[in-house]
Structure 1
Amino acid sequence: MAERMQLRGRTAVVTGAGSGIGQAIAMVLAHRGCHLALVDVNAASLAGTVAQLPAACRVSQHVVDVASREMVAALPAAVSTVHDRVDLVVNNAWCWGRWHLRHGIRRRFRLALRYQLPRRRAHDARVHAVAARQ
């Protein structure tokens, strides 16, 4: 049987964290000891998610529209101002199109893990895409 991924003390970025599947993923990760960088287009929804997290969870909130190239490009740098590493990226926010497939959150964080985020080796991190649609 495969061993469960150890999450205590690790940092995860979760897009679409303001509601639904993204919020549920954030809750599970927080209860398993993860620190979180939560991303959503709706600031009020993000605040609602954060209010439900355990006090021990270090969390940052990032209001980002994943359909915006500029906002997506700036996200890794914003996350790195609060978290010194990223171990897991859950790309749950829904956005579709050629640009998003080529240059979206998943690719941006792969590049950031390799070149931008300090003290982190790219091969240690995991990037997951969740196919969620509203």
Structure 2
Amino acid sequence: MDMGLKGRTALVLGAGGGLGSAIAAALAAEGARLALADLDEQAAAATAKSLQAQGAQALSLAWDLADLSVIDARIGAIEAGLGPVDILVNNTGGPPPTPVAGQDAALWEKSFQAMVLSVIGITDRVLPGMRQRKWGRIVTSTSSGVIAPIPNLGISNALRATLVGWSKTLAREVAPDGITANIVVPGRIATGRIRFLDEAKARREGRPVEDVTKESTASIPMQRYGEPAEYANAVVFLASQAASYITGSVVRVDGGLIPSI
């Protein structure tokens, strides 16, 4: 299937590794031009170099999402180097694992800036151009915690749920302009973040990490963690011309993990 993405410009946040780099690779394979943003400048550059070696046009940017003052300059650099952003993949890092109660206000504020206000601000910056061109895709990656809150990920559960309400509201506002806005919910995908969370749980409970991972995979109907490429394929479809009538949706890529309807 031709996804209709050749020549489109895509901005992928958190593209230095994990889900972000997998999404970038999948978009590049469809002929999109890639702007790759990450807090880790070297990681973003490494992703860009890998994609360029495969013939893709890719630009890397060091980007601290908690710093809202740089949004206009970063988008301006993308527009100058690649053209206006047609596809925005909002993929942010997560806060440290903690209970929801008793956390310092400064941690809440920093996480809100990096995970919510940055996404809203970047989206608002690229929307006028999308509206003018009558085409755009906004895909926001969250967490299974927005449907079934995950123990000891209190800040993530709360802030990512905010993005679901924002995206659903936005979808109705921009639909007449040919723009879609969707949420993608990862289950347990085999990235460094999942390894980190498994290790943190193992330390808290005084157990080998292998036991934690085995227990975790046993709770998934498919009996394994997902591959980043499997998640990326879903994002690329939602970003494609083929998904032009899908908006305001929450799409689960979880191997059947989330038990609710």
Report the TM-score when normalising by structure 1.
0.79
Q: Is the 8 A contact 1:90 1:129 kept in 2?
A: yes
Q: Is the 8 A contact 2:71 2:121 kept in 1?
A: no
Q: Distance in 1 between matches of 2:127 and 2:63?
A: 19
Gaps of 5+ in 1: none
1:25 is displaced (CA, Å) by: 0.3
Q: Over aligned residues, Cα RMSD in angstroms?
A: 2.6
Find out whether 1:30 has 2:45 as its counterpart: no
Do the aligned partners of residues 28 and 99 (structure 1) sit closer, same or farther apart at CA in structure 2, a change above 3 Å counting? closer
Gaps of 5+ in 2: 95-110, 144-155, 157-192, 194-261
Task: Tell me the equivalent position of 1:125.
Answer: 136
Equivalent residue of 1:79, what SS?
A: helix
Q: Which letter does structure 2 place at the counterpart of 1:39? A: A
Do the aligned partners of residues 11 and 67 (structure 1) sit closer, same or farther apart at CA in structure 2, a change above 3 Å counting? same
From 38, 43, 48, give the equivalent of 2:41.
43
* Structure label with greater radius of gyration: 2
Task: Tell me the equivalent position of 2:80.
Answer: 81
1:55 is displaced (CA, Å) by: 4.1
Do the aligned partners of residues 77 and 83 (structure 1) sit closer, same or farther apart at CA in structure 2, a change above 3 Å counting? same
Q: Is the 8 A contact 1:14 1:36 kept in 2?
A: yes
Q: Is the 8 A contact 1:9 1:34 kept in 2?
A: yes
Q: Distance in 1 between matches of 2:6 and 2:120?
A: 23
Task: Tell me the equivalent position of 1:108.
Answer: 122
Q: Which letter does structure 2 place at the counterpart of 1:42? A: D
Q: Which letter does structure 2 place at the counterpart of 1:57? A: A
1:51 is displaced (CA, Å) by: 2.2
Report the TM-score when normalising by structure 2.
0.44
Q: Distance in 2 between matches of 1:98 and 1:13?
A: 19
Which gives a bigger RCO, structure 1 or 2 (Cα 8 Å, sep 6+)? 1
Do the aligned partners of residues 98 and 121 (structure 1) sit closer, same or farther apart at CA in structure 2, a change above 3 Å counting? same
Deviations 1:70-123 (A, max 9, x none): 12343221211112221100011226316852x323442333330xx5x97264
Q: Does 67-76 or 82-91 show the bigger shift?
A: 67-76
Equivalent residue of 1:62, what SS?
A: strand
Equivalent residue of 2:81, what SS?
A: coil
Q: Distance in 2 between matches of 1:66 and 1:125?
A: 22
Q: Distance in 2 between matches of 1:16 and 1:88?
A: 15
Do the aligned partners of residues 76 and 57 (structure 1) sit closer, same or farther apart at CA in structure 2, a change above 3 Å counting? same
Task: Tell me the equivalent position of 1:71.
Answer: 70
Q: Does 72-81 or 18-27 show the bigger shift?
A: 72-81
Do the aligned partners of residues 81 and 11 (structure 1) sit closer, same or farther apart at CA in structure 2, a change above 3 Å counting? same
